[in-house]
Amino acid sequence: MAARALTVGGAVVAALAVWALAVAVIGVELQVEPGTTEPETVGPAMVTIASLAAGLAGWGLLALLERLTSRARGVWTATALAALLMSLAGPLAGVSAAATATLAAMHVAVAAVLVPGLRRGTRAQARDASASS
């Protein structure tokens, strides 16, 4: 459980690192224009909440799948990668190419931490490791 919590925390840190590099170092004006509303600035609080929510949702789904199927790891990985692909539609609301690229990079950074990190701690993998010892 601690490893999974660290993984979720790592995903938040990865997203914030991309945000800080783009906004504070490069100077990207990170704004989105969702639908017909006024442009909204994407700040560190929004990045933290979104990446934390994604991490906790992924962890929760994996825990549920582990209770329901012996193939939890594979099913979860396919679902996580599909979720990443669908989530990449969100950055299209960026008000500039730089904002869109930064938002997409944040999505990929979160997935790059969550997918291998949460997969590593699956119960099926732990059972396989102990059975081969």
Taking the model in full, what pTM does it have?
0.87
Block means of pLDDT (10 residues each) for the chain, 133 residues, are: 93 98 94 83 96 97 94 95 93 89 96 94 52 48
Q: Classify residue 32: in a domain, yes or no.
A: no
Q: Per the structure block, which two tokens stand in for 82?
A: 């599909």
Number of domains in the chain: 1
Q: Classify residue 7: in a domain, yes or no.
A: yes
pLDDT at 1: 82
Scanning 21-133, the segments in alpha helix (DSSP H) are 44-68, 72-87, 97-120, 123-132
Q: Classify residue 130: in a domain, yes or no.
A: no
**Structural domain boundaries, residue 69:** 2-24+43-123
Q: Classify residue 102: in a domain, yes or no.
A: yes
pLDDT at 94: 85
Q: Classify residue 95: in a domain, yes or no.
A: yes
Q: Say if residue 108 is exposed, middle or buried (CB neighbours under 10 Å; 0-12, 13-18, 19+).
A: middle
Q: Per the structure block, which two tokens stand in for 20?
A: 């800080």
Q: Classify residue 50: in a domain, yes or no.
A: yes
Q: Classify residue 38: in a domain, yes or no.
A: no
pLDDT at 130: 47
Q: At 53, which amino acid appears?
A: A
pLDDT at 91: 86
pLDDT at 129: 45
Q: Contact, 105 vs 2, CB < 8 A?
A: no
